[in-house]
Structure 1
Amino acid sequence: MARTIIIEEAGGPEQLKLVDRPVGDPGPGEIRVRHRACGLNFIDVYQRTGLYPLELPHPLGMEAAGEVVAIGAGVDHLKPGDRVAYAAMPPGAYCDERVMPAAQVCPLPDAIDYETAAAVMLQGLTVEYLFHRITELKAGDRVLFHAAAGGVGLIACQWARSEGIELIGTAGTDEKCALAREHGAAHCINYRDADFVAKVKEITDGAGVDVVMDGVGKDTFDGSLDCLRPLGFMISFGNASGPVPPVDLLKLASKGSLKLTRATLFTFLADFDRCQAMARHLFEKVASGAVVPRIGQRFPLEKVDDAHRALEARQTTGSTILTL
């Protein structure tokens, strides 16, 4: 049996329930993994509220780190006792131990501890695909990144600095802006005090940025388009403020033949070789010190409802982990 957080119906943090569930043995292509730390992400909120529907009842959690207990037939890249980390479907990481598909579980280098791994997998792999799998970015390019002091944002700031990319961040307080700059943002705009579109135009001498990476969604989408240079690329990858309404494609034409994609991490992780390569790239960044995840909050597993409330209220900075 393993302590596991489940929801039986969609709704608020009060729907999160701690139960004991049988773990079982891994079948073909599966592993049994004992967790040492779990990550918390906005996708967990989307699943809890029903924005991303699940078949209920269902456990939650997309990210964790721990050790392999047992493997099923056909699993060749892992063995019992291996240190591992993952960001993977299906949800179910909020637990002490689970059986899950092995393909997106990645060997964890000894140089990276479990809490760091749990804090960096989903957010770090998100940054990896944003910077390397969608459009070609090079040193000197300008990127606008919303919520730059959040878990994904602080990793993005460091990643950009390590590759010579000029990152312009936005955040909701002067303290969060300072934190983003400390982590590598070239500029950070307090969107509560200033019009971020006007500030981006000022910073870029009216030219606009090459790429916008927007995980906020509804509240920032139109302004993000206005920050792009002609032929610029808008990457929408999250809905923290709510889903983006339907888009008039003619708007992209009128604003300078803009490009737009709505991307999701798990499309990129679905391919085994690409998933493992992305993880290796991320681990190289972490092991070298180019990316140092900032764990801003820790909550025990049984207080996951409080963790969700803090995340939704934008009271968190950096990554949030659940301790076991």
Structure 2
Amino acid sequence: MAKRIQFSRHGGPEVLEFVDYQPAVPGPHEVRVQNRAIGLNFIDTYFRSGLYPPPALPSGLGTEGAGIVEAVGAAVSQFQVGDRVAYATGPLGAYSELHVLPASKLVKLPDAISFEQAAAVMLKGLTVQYLLRQTFALKGGETILFHAAAGGVGSFACQWAKALGVKLIGTVSSTAKAEKAMAQGAWATINYSHENVVERVLELTDGQKCPVVYDGVGKDTWETSLDCVAPRGLLVSFGNASGAVTGVNLGILAQKGSLYVTRPTLAGYADTPEHLQGMADELFGMIASGQLQVEIGQRHTLADAAAAQTALSARQTTGSTILLP
């Protein structure tokens, strides 16, 4: 028997239950991981609330964690008992002492990276890796726009862009968040609560706009983002924090300069074990070299997951939050 967080109905944090459960025996291609640290992310609240329906109820929760391999399936050859591993892309059930998942979802964790660092950085860090290194392969010298630059993904993007020699303009909602983004490596910030984003981008780029704009906000920033992309440039719409972008008229891309638009996902880039491990290796290398700092602002026990989610939803957290079994 082991402990886990589960929910039997949708709702607020109060529906989360800390229960005993019997972990499954790994199937032929599966691995059972003894979690040492678990990542907390906004997407977890979407499954809990029912915005994203889980496969069935009752359901486990969470997709990100790090720990030690405890058991392997008969067909698994790339991992063995005792290996240090991390994961970020499911399936649901990471909020647990023991988690069974496909071996294809795991990466090997080098000794230089702690379990807590891995649990705090995997999902956000791998997202930044594919955005900056693959969706638009930044080479250095570019001036880019990144929305919500002081957020979890944005903070890592600021650091990574600076390491690449890229000038990142970050949008923020307050002076405090502007200061945070600048401290993380942003080249400039735009406080959209009182500044016009498009006008400021034109000023900062001498009227050239940006070859790529990264937009994880969605509906509320869609039009603004399009107006900040240089002719034949790329708008990367990778999230929908304010709601999904709908009703898009492709003709607007022609009107605004023969623009490109993509809607990528982490799963679309980490689509093979080899791709996933390669992305993780680059991420871990950035951390080991000191170019990427992992800020863990909050640590909660696994039993205290409801309080941790409450704080996250109320925007009372800084950096990453992790759960400790």
Q: TM-score, normalised by structure 2?
A: 0.95
Q: Which amino acid aligns with 1:47?
A: F
2:299 partner SS: strand
CA distance in 2, matches of 1:230, 1:45: 38
- Percent of aligned pairs with the same amino acid: 52
2:28 matched residue in structure 1: 28
Q: Deviations over 1:28-81 (max 9, x none)?
A: 111110111111112222322333222221211110011111111222221111
Compute the displacement of 1:263 (Å).
1.1
2:288 matched residue in structure 1: 287
CA distance in 2, matches of 1:129, 1:114: 22
Q: How does 1:132-171 map to 2 (within 5 A)?
A: 132-171=133-172
2:310 matched residue in structure 1: 309
Q: Which amino acid aligns with 2:15?
A: Q
Specify whether residues 187 and 278 from structure 1 end up closer, same or farther in structure 2 by C-alpha distance, changes over 3 A only: same
Specify whether residues 292 and 302 from structure 1 end up closer, same or farther in structure 2 by C-alpha distance, changes over 3 A only: same
CA distance in 1, matches of 2:223, 2:314: 23
Specify whether residues 263 and 46 from structure 1 end up closer, same or farther in structure 2 by C-alpha distance, changes over 3 A only: farther
Alignment: residue pair count? 324
Q: Does the aligned pair in 2 maintain the 1:150–1:316 contact within 8 Å?
A: no
Q: Does the aligned pair in 2 maintain the 1:8–1:56 contact within 8 Å?
A: no
Specify whether residues 191 and 309 from structure 1 end up closer, same or farther in structure 2 by C-alpha distance, changes over 3 A only: farther
Q: Which amino acid aligns with 2:105?
A: Q
2:52 matched residue in structure 1: 52
Q: Does the aligned pair in 1 maintain the 2:42–2:312 contact within 8 Å?
A: yes
1:218 matched residue in structure 2: 219
Q: Which runs of no fewer than 5 residues in structure 1 stay unpaired?
A: none
Compute the displacement of 1:158 (Å).
0.8
Specify whether residues 247 and 51 from structure 1 end up closer, same or farther in structure 2 by C-alpha distance, changes over 3 A only: farther
Q: Does the aligned pair in 2 maintain the 1:149–1:317 contact within 8 Å?
A: no
Compute the displacement of 1:285 (Å).
0.8
Q: Does the aligned pair in 2 maintain the 1:66–1:114 contact within 8 Å?
A: yes
Q: TM-score, normalised by structure 1?
A: 0.95
Select between 73-82 and 10-19 the one with higher mean Cα deviation. 10-19
2:299 matched residue in structure 1: 298
Compute the displacement of 1:295 (Å).
1.4
Correspondence 1:12 to 2:12: yes
Q: Does the aligned pair in 2 maintain the 1:139–1:164 contact within 8 Å?
A: yes
CA distance in 2, matches of 1:200, 1:244: 22
The alignment's C-alpha RMSD in Å is: 1.5
Correspondence 1:199 to 2:200: yes
Compute the displacement of 1:306 (Å).
2.6
